[in-house]
Amino acid sequence: MAQRLVELDAGLAAVIAAHRPDAGAVEEVFVNVNPQSTLKLGQARGVAMLAVARAGLPVAEYPTKVIKKALVGTGGAEKAQIQAMLKVLLPGVVLTGEDAADALAVAITHANMLGSHR
């Protein structure tokens, strides 16, 4: 697990250096049925937040229900609904899995939240 976290940190640092974002955003941790999964997710989330903060960027956090509402209009949306809306909002996007879809959903939510505060 430690090596995977090191790889995650290095990968995020490379993405941040290459694309120079203005900020980062993460989904708030939720409790899974499996406590081990929740713990691993929390560790990865911590590495992600650290990588963004280390680059001097602000980090926003959004609850799952806020992300779902931002994309689909209801906080109770299913994963399939989120993925369908991503394909509408980002024509031609190739979703390489649930994690990629979740990341895009968080990014769109953050962009919407920034837009609503301007």
Give the pTM.
0.86
Q: List the alpha helices (DSSP H) in the chain.
A: 2-19, 35-54, 64-72, 79-89, 98-116
Q: Which domains, ranges and CATH numbers included, belong to the chain?
A: 1-61 (3.30.420.10), 63-118 (no CATH)
Of the listed ranges 12-21, 83-92, 107-116, the least confidently predicted one is 107-116
* SS3 category, 24: strand
Question: Which residues have CB under 8 Å from 95's CB, separation 6+?
Answer: 83, 86, 87, 101, 104
Cβ distance 25 to 109 under 8 Å?
yes
Label the pairing between strands 59-62 and 24-27.
parallel
Taking only the tens place, the pLDDT of each residue in 29-83 is 776 788 888 899 899 999 999 999 999 999 999 999 999 999 999 889 998 999 9
